[in-house]
Amino acid sequence: MLRTILVPLDGTPFGEHALPMALGLARRSRARVHLVHVHTLLEAGYAEVTFFDGRMDDEIRRTENEYLEKLRRNIEAKTGVSVSVQNVDGDMVPAIRGMAEKTAAELVVMTTHGRGPVGRFWLGSVADDLVRELSVPLLLVHPKKSAPDLTAEVCFQHALIPLDGTPHGEHIVGPAAELAKLTGADVTLLRVVTPVHPLVPPTEATTVESVAANLIARIEKLQGQLKKDAGAYLEQVAERLRVGGLDVRTHVLVEDQPATAIFEELHKPIDLVAMETHGRHGLSRLLMGSVADKVIRGATIPVLVHSSHS
């Protein structure tokens, strides 16, 4: 049950594009929404000496608090959703993570942009780090050109959940299924298997033609078995979701690059993709960058990600 949603804001209209999604989900689940802004202490520099400008910092903090309070009143007046606001000090990512823990948020919703010009076109360092740091699911939303409509309904119809066949990869299934139930979306489970490339040809063949024919037959047999096993695995996961009332389909693709296969699926009428990532320890950044990071940066639809830190 979705009870608490956290929305990090940076005080810009771009950041507010996360609000329609968060508020729409809150209305459906009767969840409370927490808005958090991270205040960065203002430092001034003169003659290579950096010092703290208290008066100007107080003025900026007052402006930020007024912004949050005005936004809270506007949201509650237009939507009826219960909203709380907080302006916290600290570094951006640890502060947001701390607020997610403090509010016991089950979901964090934010737009995929950073503070600088480059961040508006790419994921941005804050969202990028939060993907790896948060222990709760993060729903990333792309900003639109028009002003955000706070009363807009969430209209997910088709959710795609790529799975890698491991228990780790299935951690995203629960959060994704909950969003699908809230919005009435159906679900497609995707498993990408890599093409078979035998390295050693069979020794029993005596001619070039027979070697080729035998090799093709072996490839087709092994590839067919891999697809069959992948399909059986997906059906096991699908059955668990169907018991919960979801309409679930399964699809197996053969492709060297899993991200390429996922983008191929996104050409279909998919409006949410949900993925599990690796956590922040060890080789997490390398592993994250291999598939999920490409999808997050390349997809034009909302992306739900969850990072396991085990």
Express each pLDDT in 86-115 by its tens digit: 999 988 899 999 999 999 999 999 998 644
Express each pLDDT in 24-46 by its tens digit: 999 999 999 999 999 887 665 45
Domain identity same for 147 and 161: no
User: Of 76-80, 175-179, 252-256, where does mean pLDDT reach its minimum?
Assistant: 252-256
Give the SS3 label for residue 8: strand
Which tokens in the block code for residue 135? Answer: 């222990």
Domain identity same for 161 and 295: yes
CA distances, 57 to each of 42, 64, 69, 94, 278 (Å): 5, 11, 18, 21, 38
pTM for the full predicted model? 0.85
**What is the phi/psi pair of residue 201, to 5°?**
-70, 155
Domain identity same for 24 and 122: yes
Mean pLDDT to the nearest integer, 129-147: 88
Domain that holds residue 131: 1-152
Q: Which of 152, 175, 201 is the last residue of a domain?
A: 152
Domain total in the chain: 2
Looking from the CA of 10 toward its CB, the CA atoms found within 13 Å total: 22
Domain identity same for 206 and 70: no
Domain identity same for 174 and 241: yes
Neighbours of 138 (CB within 10 A): 26
Closest by Cα among 236, 291, 289 to 261: 291
Domain identity same for 261 and 272: yes
Instruction: Report the range out of 44-53, 174-183, 194-203 with the highest average pLDDT.
Output: 174-183
Neighbours of 151 (CB within 10 A): 12
Which tokens in the block code for residue 114? Answer: 């950073």
Whether the Cβ atoms of residue 52 and residue 16 lie closer than 8 Å to each other: no
Higher pLDDT, 53 or 142: 142
**What is the phi/psi pair of residue 106, to 5°?**
-95, -15
Domain identity same for 255 and 308: yes
Which pLDDT does position 142 carry in this prediction? 86
- CATH number of the domain residue 171 falls in: 3.40.50.620
Which pLDDT does position 30 carry in this prediction? 94
Which pLDDT does position 12 carry in this prediction? 85
Which pLDDT does position 113 carry in this prediction? 60
Q: Which of 124, 152, 180 is the last residue of a domain?
A: 152
DSSP state of 12: S
Mean pLDDT to the nearest integer, 7-31: 93
Domain identity same for 140 and 276: no
Report the percentage of the chain scoring pLDDT > 70. 80
Domain identity same for 189 and 134: no
For residue 281, list its beta bridge partners.
none
Domain identity same for 32 and 138: yes
Q: Which of 128, 152, 176 is the last residue of a domain?
A: 152
Within 8 A by CB and 6+ apart from 247, the residues are 186, 187
Beta strands in 23-151 (DSSP E): 32-39, 43-46, 49-52, 83-89, 107-111, 138-141
Looking from the CA of 199 toward its CB, the CA atoms found within 13 Å total: 0
Domain identity same for 217 and 304: yes
Domain identity same for 276 and 299: yes
Within 8 A by CB and 6+ apart from 82, the residues are 32, 33, 76
Give the SS3 label for residue 185: coil
Which pLDDT does position 43 carry in this prediction? 60
pLDDT at 122 over 60: no
- pLDDT averaged over the chain? 84
Higher pLDDT, 94 or 213: 94
Which tokens in the block code for residue 264? Answer: 């191929």
Which pLDDT does position 291 carry in this prediction? 84
